Amino acid sequence: MAEYHPNPFPLEEAARRLGHYRWIEMRLFEILGGWAASVPEVAVKLLLAPHSFHHAWHSELWHKRLPQLREMSPEAMTVPPNDTMVEFVDALVAPKDPDETIEKMVGVYRVLIPHKITAYGFHLDHTEVTTDGPTIRWLRHVLQDEMDDWREGEMLIQSLLQTPDEVQRAAAHQARLEALLVAAGGIAGPGSIGAPVLPPGAAATKR
């Protein structure tokens, strides 16, 4: 029996979201790859390097889906949802000192990846297998990667937190980044896990 997903996204909305997903996956590939080369902890290097390539692969998947959605240009769609999301990424990469590995890890594995998991899960719940089976299949693969990466990242964060001061550092940095990402509306902008927030007078395109 075919699966039923309520209120499937219009094609244009699905394409918009996939473009935003591709943008953040590309950024994560670059960020984690750079950190893998610079962080002093060997265990962190060994975690970040393969995770970086996971995000590169995810970016390729979303790139492949975009041309099939009414011939929209993948490059034109590969953009951040808004300026606040750009500000969030800037804050994510702000910790640059060798002794700020905790902040680096917390930003990715306690803030960004959980938001990606919820946005991808929401998208999966609003995609019909009869009309967009490939997106469903790839969302499931990507979600499995994200869950595995989150688990490994969280385990490593817990191993790094050894003192009350380090716990406070982690919590403070998480709160700063969480506030920015909430202000951005999530990785796909307002409505990342709900109906898109449209400009006044705009209307969603129907299937």
Residue 178 has pLDDT above 50, yes or no: yes
Structure-model confidence comparison of residues 10 and 119, the more confident one: 119
Q: Which helix (H) or strand (E) segment is 58 a member of?
A: helix 42-65
127-142 confidence digits (pLDDT tens): 888 778 888 999 999 9
Name which of 164, 86, 150 is nearest 118 in CA terms.
Answer: 150
Residues 6+ apart with CB under 8 A from 196: 13, 16, 189, 190, 204
23-77 confidence digits (pLDDT tens): 999 999 999 999 999 999 999 999 999 999 999 999 999 998 886 655 667 788 8
User: What pLDDT score was predicted for residue 70?
Assistant: 59
How many Cβ atoms sit within 10 Å of the Cβ of residue 38?
13
Q: Note the CATH architecture for domain 11-184.
A: Up-down Bundle (1.20)
User: What pLDDT score was predicted for residue 132?
Assistant: 83
- Extract the tokens encoding 124: 């999966």
Query: What DSSP state is assigned to residue 9?
Result: P
1-29 confidence digits (pLDDT tens): 345 456 678 888 888 999 999 999 999 99
pLDDT, mean over the chain: 90
**What is residue 163's three-state secondary structure?**
coil
**Dist CA 20 CA 187 (whole Å):** 7
Residues 6+ apart with CB under 8 A from 152: 47, 51
**pTM attached to this predicted model:** 0.88
